[in-house]
């Protein structure tokens, strides 16, 4: 297991909470006039949090489990925008609960990964849209996903600041 990646995964809940806490009150559902250049999905600040929570549990928990327990499992990609519509992200108001749920879900992920033996990380699967992947590779994709959403929140904060400072 790559220790830097493992630590990044373990520390991500605190980073997500800190980045979300920087969103000014009243801007949780704010959208820019243009999403050009956004480094993540086109989600508002609260939607970013809800998305990360749901992808952790319905995406990566399932992917890790199937990769570890099935031979050459086929791992489905998730349509993030469809999930957001189904779950009513646009109407959500309780980021605190979503962050707590995510923190608990990530703790389960970290616990699982820390319990694996070296040969477990080499187990293979086929990840829709990515191709062949190992459990180790899934760890890296999850870490990349985390960073993408921190970048998305920072991008939104930049757009919010620009909107707030414009006459």
Structure confidence at residue 1 (pLDDT): 72
pTM score, whole prediction: 0.95
Structure confidence at residue 167 (pLDDT): 75
Percent above pLDDT 90 for the chain: 98
Report residue 18 as tokens.
């800190």
Average pLDDT, the chain: 97
What's 35's DSSP letter? Answer: -
pLDDT (average), residues 91-110: 98
Name the pairing type of β-strands 131-134 and 73-75. Answer: unpaired
pLDDT (average), residues 47-69: 98
Structure confidence at residue 28 (pLDDT): 98
| CATH code assigned to 3-22+44-165 | 1.20.120.450
Structure confidence at residue 22 (pLDDT): 98
| Whether residue 3 has pLDDT greater than 90 | yes
| Whether residue 18 has pLDDT greater than 80 | yes
Structure confidence at residue 2 (pLDDT): 85
Give Cα separations from 145 to 27, 38, 40, 72, 102 (angstroms).
23, 14, 9, 23, 14
What pLDDT, in 10s, does the model give residues 152-165?
A: 999 999 999 999 99
> CB burial class (10 A; 0-12, 13-18, 19+) of residue 30?
middle
> Would you list the domain boundaries of the chain?
3-22+44-165
pLDDT (average), residues 109-117: 98
DSSP element (H, E) containing 127: strand 124-127
What pLDDT, in 10s, does the model give residues 25-36?
A: 999 999 999 999
Structure confidence at residue 92 (pLDDT): 96
Structure confidence at residue 95 (pLDDT): 97
């Amino acid at each position: 297991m790559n220790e830097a990646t493992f630590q990044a995964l373990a520390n991500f809940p605190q980073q997500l909470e800190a980045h979300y806490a920087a969103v000014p009150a009243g801007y949780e559902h704010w959208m820019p006039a243009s999403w050009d250049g956004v480094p993540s999905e086109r989600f508002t600040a609260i939607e970013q949090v809800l998305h990360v929570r749901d992808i952790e549990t319905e995406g990566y928990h399932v992917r890790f489990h199937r990769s570890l327990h099935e031979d050459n499992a086929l791992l489905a990609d998730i349509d993030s925008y469809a999930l957001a519509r189904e779950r009513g992200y646009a109407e959500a108001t309780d980021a605190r609960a979503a962050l707590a749920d995510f923190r608990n879900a990530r703790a389960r992920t970290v616990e699982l990964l820390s319990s694996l033996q070296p040969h477990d990380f080499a187990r293979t699967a086929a990840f829709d849209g990515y191709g062949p992947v190992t459990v180790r590779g899934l760890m890296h994709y999850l870490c990349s996903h985390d960073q993408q959403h921190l970048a998305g929140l920072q991008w939104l904060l930049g757009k919010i600041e620009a909107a707030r400072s414009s006459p």
